């Protein structure tokens, strides 16, 4: 088999570039196959047209031809040129290419979203604080410290109330365990009282066998914050830094936060006996009240007159 291009064929064949044929040699290819047929050579010709040539696409000058003749295309607008940064050619520094986009804004603060966020916070924060108070009430931290601090409660003519006595008893156990070499009792007196809470607590501990030289009575304070402010002065005067606070479980978080705000390194070891912890219903009620007192302190930096958790057996 022989392959011939159109230019090599017969002159009278229009497919082979002869007169009247196509001048393009690549447009047509001619295949010849020869084989004997009855003693004579026969030739069969097969023709395969090449792929059609696409029509020319008008160039930029042809597309921009106007009534006054061809117009040159507008190039990219770079710095200093007219309309800098404007139009398809100006954006991104190149004409005809994809436009460059700035960083996507995944989140936009809109008034509706801000209001919704504030509502979520307002709804979630109180239960979160309640859970924090409850969790702290279940913890018992008694690291080696400089002093054991017993927050005062009611006393009756020099005799600690049941709630106060439960706190003092727990402090005596901590002292025996060697948690700290000193016990601090704190609390003033109510109008008409002849004894202070701090003094009544000191006397009770000494009666239980705690050496008098190891007990310091701070006979000031009508609520938790005022008592801690008075204790802070004694702590600074003695060069102490760390204290373990003894109070009722639900009172632990607020008292620790207040002590830390005074500059003391504070831990809490709540009591596990006494009227304040006998009934679960009572504990839940006091934890709820203490949550409100903690927020009162955060908002106003003070303690209300009816300081829950301090001074009375109702606490």
DSSP helix/strand/coil, 292 = helix
Of 119, 235, 117, which Cα lies nearest the Cα of 182? Answer: 235
The per-residue DSSP string of 90-138 comes to HGGGSSSSPPP----------HHHHHHHHHHHHHHHHHHHHHHHHHHHT
**Cα–Cα distances in Å, from 270 out to 93, 141, 145, 202, 250?**
71, 9, 16, 19, 8
- DSSP code of residue 50: P
> 41 to each of 9, 32, 44, 255, how far by Cα in Å?
18, 12, 10, 119
Nearest to 248 by CA among 172, 159, 205, 309: 309
pTM to 2 decimals? 0.62
List the chain residues with pLDDT less than 70: 1-109, 276, 278, 304-315
pLDDT of residue 184: 98
Rounded to whole angstroms, the Cα distance separating 153 from 222 reads 10
Query: In CATH terms, is domain 131-300 a member of 3.40.50.620?
Result: yes
Specify the domain boundaries for CATH 3.40.50.620 within the chain. 131-300
Q: What are phi and psi of 104, to 5 degrees?
A: -70, 140
The per-residue pLDDT for 59 is 53
183-186 and 147-150 strand pairing = parallel
pLDDT of residue 98: 56
Q: Count the neighbouring beta carbons within 10 Å of the beta carbon of residue 32.
A: 13
What's the confidence (pLDDT) of residue 90?
A: 46
**Three-state DSSP class for residue 66:** strand
pLDDT at residue number 14: 47
CB atoms within 10 A of CB 165: 19
């Amino acid at each position: 088999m022989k392959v011939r291009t159109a230019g090599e064929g017969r002159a009278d064949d229009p497919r082979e570039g002869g007169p009247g044929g196509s001048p393009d040699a690549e447009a047509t290819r001619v295949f010849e196959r020869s084989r004997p047929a009855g003693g004579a050579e026969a030739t069969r010709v097969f023709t395969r047209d090449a792929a059609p040539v696409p029509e020319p696409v008008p160039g930029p000058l042809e597309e921009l031809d106007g009534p006054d003749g061809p117009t040159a295309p507008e190039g990219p607008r770079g710095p200093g040129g007219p309309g800098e940064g404007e139009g398809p050619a100006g954006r991104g520094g190149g004409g005809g290419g994809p436009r460059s986009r700035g960083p996507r804004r995944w989140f936009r603060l809109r008034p509706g979203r801000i209001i919704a966020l504030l509502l979520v916070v307002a709804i979630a924060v109180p239960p979160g604080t309640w859970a924090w108070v409850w969790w702290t009430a279940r913890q018992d931290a008694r690291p080696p410290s400089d002093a054991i601090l017993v927050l005062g409660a009611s006393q009756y003519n020099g005799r600690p109330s049941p709630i106060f006595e439960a706190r003092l008893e727990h402090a005596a156990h901590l002292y025996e365990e060697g948690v700290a070499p000193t016990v601090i009792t704190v609390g003033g007196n109510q109008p008409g009282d002849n004894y202070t809470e701090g003094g009544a607590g000191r006397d009770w501990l000494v009666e239980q066998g705690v050496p008098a030289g190891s007990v310091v009575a701070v006979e000031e304070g009508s609520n938790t914050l005022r008592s801690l402010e008075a204790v802070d002065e004694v702590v600074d005067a003695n060069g102490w830094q760390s204290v373990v606070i003894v109070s009722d479980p639900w009172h632990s978080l607020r008292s620790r936060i207040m002590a830390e705000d005074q500059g003391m390194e504070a831990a809490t070891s709540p009591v596990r006996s006494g009227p304040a912890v006998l009934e679960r219903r009572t504990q839940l009620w006091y934890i709820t009240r203490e949550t409100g007192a903690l927020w009162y302190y955060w908002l106003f930096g003070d303690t209300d007159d009816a300081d829950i958790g301090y001074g009375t057996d109702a606490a």
